[in-house]
Amino acid sequence: MFYADGEAHQLIEILPDRLSKNIKEHFLGYSLHNRRQVEYVIIDLNANYGQFVRGLFPNAKIIIDRFHIVQRVAQALTTGQRVADQHSIEDKRYSREYAIMKSQWRLFRWRKRIDN
Q: What is the pLDDT of residues 58-98, one digit of tens each?
A: 999 998 888 888 888 777 767 777 777 777 887 777 788 77
How much of the chain is in helix, strand and coil states, percent to nearest 5? 60, 15, 25
Are 52 and 106 contained in the same domain?
no
Are 12 and 40 contained in the same domain?
yes
The domain of 106 spans 67-115
Count Cβ atoms below 10 Å from residue 100 Cβ, excluding itself.
Answer: 13
Task: Determine the pLDDT at residue 39.
Answer: 93
What is the b/e burial string over 53-87, where b = at least 16 CB atoms within 10 angstroms of the residue's CB? beebbeebeeeeeeeeeeeeeeeeebeeebeeebe
Are 111 and 74 contained in the same domain?
yes
Mean pLDDT of the chain: 81
Are 96 and 45 contained in the same domain?
no
The pTM (predicted TM-score) of the whole model is 0.60
Q: What is the share, in percent, of the chain residues with pLDDT greater than 70?
A: 85
- β-bridge partners, 3: 13
Q: What is the share, in percent, of the chain residues with pLDDT greater than 90?
A: 22
Encoded amino acid at 84, one letter? A
Among the three residues 29, 47, 64, which one is the final residue of a domain in this structure?
64
Contact (CB, 8 A) for 52 and 71: no
Q: Is the pLDDT of residue 3 over 90?
A: no
Are 8 and 57 contained in the same domain?
yes
